Structure 1
Amino acid sequence: MEDDWEYRRRRRYFWWDIERDIERMIEDMMREFEELFHPMRLRELEKEWEKHGIKPYVYGFRITIGPDGKPLLEEFGNVRRVKGRPMITEEREPLVDVFESGDEITVVAEIPGVEKDKIETKISEDGRTLVISASDTNRKYYKEVELPSEVDPSSAKAVYKNGVLEVKMKKTKKERKGFKISVE
């Protein structure tokens, strides 16, 4: 009986020691990360890059499940592939979500660091594409968003708050009729 109790006690302390060691490792990594990416350090790095003509880059991706059930990979940032090689551009491509509900389409774009009067949104003539562009002293954004259906440009309303742009548009009520083709 005593051996069983001793075994459980040692086992409990063994796991407690491992948990404590893991917590210490995580705390050390967080401390090093904070020191490395401190905002003042990042500003110094950006200034150093500018001296040498190096542009800072932003790159990311997200994976979502499309309406057909297949995964979709969407990239964002200012890194583009030109002839298979990565190139850093001045314009960043913001992360964008498109929501369709009833007779309305909502586009939400993350555009941090710009003033709202520096943001320009346009709807193409065919009503199927929303163009978002923003330019401030430090940042430039550009994105062409394909809309799931045609919209009425006069119904569009945009709100910018806390770095997030939300554009709501009403779908057009036009019904497209098919065109009959005679067979010869």
Structure 2
Amino acid sequence: MNPKRNNFIEKIFENMYQSLDSMFNDGQFSFPLNMESGKPYFYGYTMQVGPDGKPVIHEYGNLDQAGLSDSSAKAIRSDSEYREPIVDVFNDQDGKVRLIAELPGIVKDNIKITENQGVVTIKAENGERKYQASIPTGKRLDSSKSKTKFNNGVLELEIPVKKSDDEKNIRIE
């Protein structure tokens, strides 16, 4: 690698480190007061473009966004011992909804998936690792024809959208 380029990259990371260090030292970034020592806390988000062209933002983790800058007790989602996994939802053109969930450290036998009125719930446990998510799809699903795969901590779920067989003609009087 070119020494000038390497020096440039080192300066970028040094500047980022100095900025973060000054934020912590100046009190611009603080942790919520009710954090327990030795327990992992995290916050993240995924952003995709939805089928309507608008951005869809999904937050995950056990900290609210406020937990990144607010020291209030509400910042920690301590109401549950479960983490919310990263889940991507795809509405396929062929009338199926695909969900891909990241469940690291989980084995297949410890995963429970349910569907109720278009809301898919995933719950998984393996020792200290516990995940739970309820994902609204906005569609009527035919869960009896679903297909699942689980490999290396990644769950892939494909559920067909239910065809409307309730359509009836209404006679005009």
Which TM-score bucket, shorter chain as reference? 0.5 to 0.7
1:21 CA displacement: 2.3
Match of 1:129 in 2: 119
Q: 1:109 aligns with which of 84, 93, 101?
A: 101
Match of 1:61 in 2: 45
Q: 1:92 aligns with which of 61, 73, 83?
A: 83
Secondary structure of 2:144's counterpart equals helix
Q: Judging changes above 3 Å, is the alpha-carbon distance between structure 1 residues 136 and 22 closer, same or farther for their aligned structure 2 residues?
A: same
1-structure distance, mates of 2:73, 2:9 = 42
Q: Judging changes above 3 Å, is the alpha-carbon distance between structure 1 residues 148 and 18 closer, same or farther for their aligned structure 2 residues?
A: same
Residues 147-177 of structure 1 show CA distances to partners (whole Å, capped at 9, x for unaligned) of 2311112112221101100111122122454
Alignment RMSD? 3.4
Structure holding more strand per residue:
1
Q: Judging changes above 3 Å, is the alpha-carbon distance between structure 1 residues 66 and 170 closer, same or farther for their aligned structure 2 residues?
A: closer
Contact 2:43 2:65 (8 Å CA) reproduced: no
2-structure distance, mates of 1:134, 1:110 = 11
2-structure distance, mates of 1:179, 1:112 = 50
Q: What runs of 5+ residues in structure 2 fail to find an aligned partner?
A: 16-35, 67-71
Output aligned runs, 1:132-171, within 5 Å.
Answer: 132-171=122-161
Match of 1:44 in 2: none
Q: What runs of 5+ residues in structure 1 fail to find an aligned partner?
A: 1-15, 30-51
Match of 2:24 in 1: none
Give the number of the structure whose alpha-carbon radius of gyration is greater.
1
Paired letter, 1:56: P
TM-score by length of 1: 0.64
Match of 1:76 in 2: 60
Residues 91-111 of structure 1 show CA distances to partners (whole Å, capped at 9, x for unaligned) of 111111112221222111111
Aligned pair count reads 144
Secondary structure of 1:79's counterpart equals coil
Contact 1:81 1:87 (8 Å CA) reproduced: no
- 2:162 aligned with 1:172: yes
Contact 1:55 1:88 (8 Å CA) reproduced: no
Paired letter, 1:119: I
TM-score by length of 2: 0.67
2-structure distance, mates of 1:81, 1:65 = 21
Q: Judging changes above 3 Å, is the alpha-carbon distance between structure 1 residues 132 and 179 closer, same or farther for their aligned structure 2 residues?
A: farther
